[in-house]
Amino acid sequence: MINREWHLLSRPVGWPKPEDFALVEAEVRQPREGQVLVRNKYLSVDPYMRGRMSAAKSYVAPFELGKAMQGGAVGEVVASEAEGIAVGDHVLHFLGWREYATLDAKNAVKVDADAAPLSAYLGVLGMTGLTAYAGLLRTAAFKEGDSVFVSGAAGAVGSQVGQIAKLKGASRVIGSAGSDEKVKLLVEEYGFDAAFNYKNGPVGEQLREAAPDGVDVYFDNVGGDHLEAAIGSLNQGGRIAVCGMISVYNNTEPAPGPKNLARLIQTRGRIEGFLVGDHYDLQPQFVQEVGPWVASGALKYRETVVEGIENNLEAFLGVLRGDNTGKMIVKL
């Protein structure tokens, strides 16, 4: 059996280029005791992966040059030498960017293909969903009646943040996105009270128009001018949860910080970054609460699906460009 997998050949400077990567063939390794062999069906590509392509010290180890990259994946077990996981089971694991994965069974989580589409375990019921849930409810300490602003609101995380806020009793939810089509989606399908296209004018001005009474919570996926705008509209006691800053991921020079940080003194505002890995204790609560919302249609989600392992890199670059609506998924 031959496996196709994506390797990182060189560390990108600025925007990643196709020559920084290679799709290579490798022999599929049969599982040893305590391991399983999985034929991947769906792969996840996410903005954080750009950071792993750099050698800079971060919260997770960088991808190794000349070796297969990693990421969320869900697939079918085709060989098992582990108790508790049988051939035909479906599992979630972290050896994506490849067609087949051989891994220790302890690093695989069984998922129910009858309860939800397999791809959902990479998005709305997976890491991105938990990111939205933990960031909004724990880091930002959302409470009923809060006004919430979400950047990157049509993405996998942002779209769930806004909907969860509405389901939890937000007084107003505002989102920003990069196209008029996405703005329409936010308001008409996801139930946001207001949304704007950040390309149509200064973010600060558009936010003040959409949230004339200010915001209590800002969920930051973008950074840059969005963060500065949110600080400018923050109400007293406002909270900012920093999930990502995609606007600066490909910068070759450090980006300047917001010019209005002094306003946090006036508002007694708080900015806090978070990583979903610190909040896995919320997983049972998350599934118990969000699962029924998804099943009933109360919480809606979109996926942008790209087919074929050969298009895995282009799908990732598409996330950095903002091509996706909802979760970007690669189907094998």
pLDDT value at residue 5: 98
C-alpha closest to that of 42 among 106, 105, 124: 124
pTM for this predicted structure? 0.84
Residue 187's pLDDT band (cuts 50, 70, 90): very high
pLDDT value at residue 253: 77
pLDDT value at residue 25: 97
pLDDT value at residue 246: 83
pLDDT of 193 strictly over 90: yes
> Which burial class, exposed, middle or buried, applies to 283 when counting CB atoms under 10 A from its CB (0-12, 13-18, 19+)?
middle
pLDDT value at residue 174: 98
Mean pLDDT of 69-85: 97
For strands 147-150 and 172-177, give the pairing: parallel
The three-class DSSP label of residue 157 is helix
Instruction: Return the biggest CA–CA distance within the chain.
Output: 63
pLDDT of 257 strictly over 90: no
Range from 13-22, 55-64, 294-303 carrying the lowest mean pLDDT: 55-64
Residues 102-151: pLDDT tens digits?
Answer: 999 999 989 999 888 999 999 999 989 999 999 999 999 999 999 999 99
Angle, CA of 290, 272 and 270, to the nearest 5°:
110
Residue 43's pLDDT band (cuts 50, 70, 90): very high
pLDDT value at residue 23: 98
For strands 234-242 and 215-220, give the pairing: parallel
Residue 59's pLDDT band (cuts 50, 70, 90): confident
Angle, CA of 91, 309 and 32, to the nearest 5°:
45
Torsions phi, psi for 277 (to 5 deg) = -60, -20
Cβ 40 vs Cβ 96: under 8 Å: yes
Residue with tokens 């990182």: 8
